[in-house]
Amino acid sequence: VRRAARAADTVIATDRSLVSPVTTYLGVRKDVVRVIPNAIEPADCDRPDTASRAKALRSELGLQPEDVLLLSVGRLEANKGFDVLIRALASLVQQKTLPERWRWVLVGDGPMRDALHREISSAGLSSWVTLRGRATNEDLHGWYEAATLFVHPTLYEGSSIVTLEAMAHRRAVVASRAGGLPDKVIPGVTGWLVPPGNEEALAATIGKALTDAGRLQTMGLAGRALVDKEFSWRAATDRLLS
């Protein structure tokens, strides 16, 4: 791999956070490294049926349009930090910081599902949390659209396509400062970043985020604009060709 990298005219890193590891471990000069991100097609998030599906999904949970729906999407593995989010939410409930009517929906499946079930029950959150399992494409986009806030508490991360999808749905994001997430989640612009694994910071940031619905909307719009500009397939392809 090092020999191939040294022979290359250009080495592509998919996130800014990878530039340093690429130069350090592959032994290439920084001036041959270019950042071209993994991308999504934003138009896929503008499906005509998404609004009606979002309304139906909220209705299934007994939520009104003004009620808070926190959404996370990911494989249920230890590195995704969902246990950290469970403890953060339990803290917010204890502090009576969350609104009276709220839910957290976790979409995804994996080896940690049973362990997360137990943690949710032990934390006394069962009536507020839905482990949805795998979702169809239609439902996944519906959940993004139904969400009030997207929360990605990962301990380490690559590019995080799910975060880009949430942003393409104009949702503000609370995420860990890990991997490629700082390229996407710009504090005060498209969302908030917290230290990975820090449940106190995560709880405080979620509580703060939910105090200003207007700001969430503004951040959501900024997130979509950033995806269109830098993380769409058109933008990535233009960079690659140049």
* Tens of pLDDT, residues 123-148: 999 999 999 999 999 999 999 999 99
The percent of residues in the chain predicted with pLDDT above 90, rounded, is 96
**Can you give the length of the chain in residues?**
242
Chain segment 13-40, per-residue pLDDT in tens: 999 999 999 999 999 999 999 999 999 9
Count Cβ atoms within 10 A of the Cβ of residue 127 and give its class: 0-12 exposed, 13-18 middle, 19 or more buried. Answer: exposed
Phi, psi of 34 (to 5 degrees): -125, 140
The partner residues of 35 in beta bridges, in order of sequence, read 13
Q: How far, in Å, CA of 55 to CA of 107, rounded?
A: 17
Q: Which two tokens stand for residue 163?
A: 């975060």
Cα–Cα distance for residue pair 43/40, rounded to 1 Å: 9
Mean pLDDT of all residues in 87-110: 96
Q: What is the pLDDT of residue 143?
A: 97
Structural contact between residues 142 and 54, judged by C-beta atoms closer than 8 angstroms: yes
Query: Cα(4)–Cα(11) distance, rounded to whole angstroms?
Result: 10
Phi-psi region of 28 (alpha: psi -120 to 50; beta: other; left: phi over 0): beta
In one letter, which amino acid is 31? D
Q: Strand 129-133 vs strand 149-152: parallel, antiparallel, or unpaired?
A: unpaired
> Using CA atoms, how far apart are residues 242 and 73, in angstroms rounded to an integer?
33
3-state helix, strand, coil in the chain (%, to 5): 50, 15, 35
Q: Angle at Cα 153 formed by Cα 134 and Cα 111, nearest 5°? A: 40
> Tell me: the pLDDT tens digits for 189-215?
999 999 999 999 999 999 999 998 899
123: left (phi over 0), alpha (psi -120 to 50) or beta: alpha
pLDDT (tens digit per residue) in 53-84: 999 999 999 999 999 999 999 999 999 999 99
Dihedral pair phi/psi, residue 114, rounded to 5°? -65, -40
Mean pLDDT of all residues in 160-181: 97
Q: What is the mean pLDDT of the chain?
A: 96
What confidence category does residue 158 fall into, taking pLDDT thresholds of 50, 70 and 90? confident
pTM for the structure as a whole: 0.94
